[in-house]
Amino acid sequence: MKIAVLPGDGIGPEIVAQASKVLQALSKDGLKIEMEQAPIGGAGYDASGDPLPAATLKLAQDADAVLLGAVGGWQYDTLPRPMRPEQGLLRIRKELNLFANLRPALLYPELADASTLKPEVVSGLDIMIVRELTGDIYFGQPRGIHTLANGEREGYNTMRYSESEIRRIGHVAFGIASKRNRKVCSVDKANVLETTELWRQVMIEIAKDYPDVELSHMYVDNAAMQLVRAPKQFDVIVTGNIFGDILSDEASMLTGSIGMLPSASLDSNNKGMYEPSHGSAPDIAGKNIANPLATILSAAMMLRYTFNDETTAQRIENAVKKVLANGLRTADIFVAGTQKVSCSEMGDAVVAAL
């Protein structure tokens, strides 16, 4: 199994190093993997003037799975848009056709106190957000900034979804729900936006193929509210690219820290790119204080979804649970009475717990 390792920017290299350590430990134990690194994002721009260098894309295309850190940094914010780190990420998602983004929001019991919400609201939380990742207003044409006849500038983007794009993400969500608590909540803004009116219609059609899964619908504003009011009502949430971007950040804080949340982005053959749900955190980059658990848990998702190795996936997840139960915490999830550790110490502890 070939894994393309793309550390990226900011805390990316630090957290990816920890997940690589975990994979290396497993490979000593007999897991057959090969890892090769390449730059992406700002690192790609620095190396070859492109946030997605051709060699990096080729490596990712040839690999069975991709492990990614994070992209972005203030020093790149003034570059022309196509050269910015985020474009490297959006392009690799599009090039590899990674349309299904799975973002679990799972609360580890040990971290109930780290959430800003009351423990009784979040304890036992287990939500899977299924975000469409290669369509919507993120990619819709036309887009741009132009000057109107009156000399004023206008910015515009286009929200669009074809039926087939909605259908394929819907099937992913229903498929996942049928192995969980059999509830899908489709989030849209069908009261205002035609794109999502179609989204809702297609979801209703798909539901007929899954008679034992219950489908409900929620407007995105209400969903944002319900996620903090009573998040445990959700099992699987399926939504478009932009709503999923926003709601998945919100859901992550229910679990204590965005530093805990892994993600998988899959194509229709379960080839995938695995990355933490959080960003490059340039403010703490290079300080060895970032939380590597989201990246380590992303490696577990890689084993589960691309390599079909549930046993090893659970072995990683259990190791993470064990270090949390032993009281180890990085700064983002630290509370009095626990032991604060660095990024690399957390990685070492997970390896030891394996």
Q: Determine the Cα–Cα distance for residues 177 and 168; give it in Å rounded to an integer.
A: 14
3-class DSSP state of 35:
strand
Q: Determine the Cα–Cα distance for residues 110 and 107; give it in Å rounded to an integer.
A: 8
Segment near Mg ion (CB under 5 A), from 95-103, 115-123, 194-202, 237-245?
237-245
**Would you call 29 a catalytic residue per the annotation?**
no
- Paired with 78 in beta bridges are none
Residue selected from 3, 16, 66, 89 as contacting ligand IPM according to rule CB under 6 A: 89
Q: Determine the Cα–Cα distance for residues 17 and 288; give it in Å rounded to an integer.
A: 11
Q: Whose CB is nearest to Mg ion?
A: 245
Q: Determine the Cα–Cα distance for residues 207 and 169; give it in Å rounded to an integer.
A: 12
Residue 245 touches ligand IPM, criterion: CB under 6 A:
yes
Give the nearest distance from C-beta 326 to ligand IPM in angstroms.
31
Q: Determine the Cα–Cα distance for residues 266 and 137; give it in Å rounded to an integer.
A: 20
The H or E element spanning position 14 is: helix 12-28
Residue 353 touches ligand IPM, criterion: CB under 6 A:
no
**Would you call 9 a catalytic residue per the annotation?**
no
Give the nearest distance from C-beta 133 to ligand IPM in angstroms.
7
3-class DSSP state of 174:
helix
Segment near ligand IPM (CB under 6 A), from 86-94, 192-200, 220-228, 324-332?
86-94
Contact 313, 301 (CB under 8 A): yes
Task: Copy the structure tokens of residue 216.
Answer: 């409900």
Q: Which does 86 bind (CB under 5 to 8 A by kind): ligand IPM, Mg ion, none?
A: ligand IPM
Task: Copy the structure tokens of residue 127.
Answer: 């939500």
Residue number, 53 or 244, with CB nearest to Mg ion: 244
Residue 86 touches ligand IPM, criterion: CB under 6 A:
yes
Give the nearest distance from C-beta 112 to ligand IPM in angstroms.
25
Give the nearest distance from C-beta 90 to ligand IPM in angstroms.
6
3-class DSSP state of 68:
strand
Binding site for Mg ion (CB under 5 A): 245
- List, by residue number, the catalytic residues: 138, 189, 221, 245, 249
Binding site for ligand IPM (CB under 6 A): 86, 89-90, 245
